[in-house]
Amino acid sequence: MTAPDPSYYQHHIFFCLNKRENGDSCCADHDAQEAFDYCKSEVKKQGLSGAGKVRVNKAGCLDRCAGGPVAVVYPEAVWYSYVDKADIKEIVESHLANGVVVERLLTPPHLGR
């Protein structure tokens, strides 16, 4: 008997939607919810959603605030900083659909909180 594939989704993308009430910079201040909603609709529109494909998820603080807004794609653990819908569309079409990392949107590795 063949063992089941341990990965239910080919890619998981998590969007930080954290809102800091103390006034510190956070992803929510940079339209992260809008980016999440757009990514979810693009993934669905392109037929990429569902088992064996792509899952778009909300996340709390991912502790990379200095690079925000951020999203991370697993299982590759590729961190992205994005600005607008065009960036999200490029991540969907390049990385999520074709497995090609969008180098220009990578979050610099030294940026944390």
- Model confidence at 110: pLDDT above 70: yes
Q: In what order do the strands lie in the sheet with 54-59?
A: 54-59, 11-16, 70-74, 78-81
Residue 10 phi, psi dihedral angles, 5° rounding: -70, -45
- Model confidence at 2: pLDDT above 80: no
Look at domain 11-105 and name its CATH class. Answer: alpha beta
The band of 6, judged by pLDDT with boundaries at 50, 70 and 90, is low
Domain residue spans in the chain?
11-105
Span 48-84, pLDDT tens digits = 999 999 999 999 999 998 888 999 999 999 999 999 9
Query: Are the C-beta atoms of 9 and 54 separated by less than 8 Å?
Result: yes
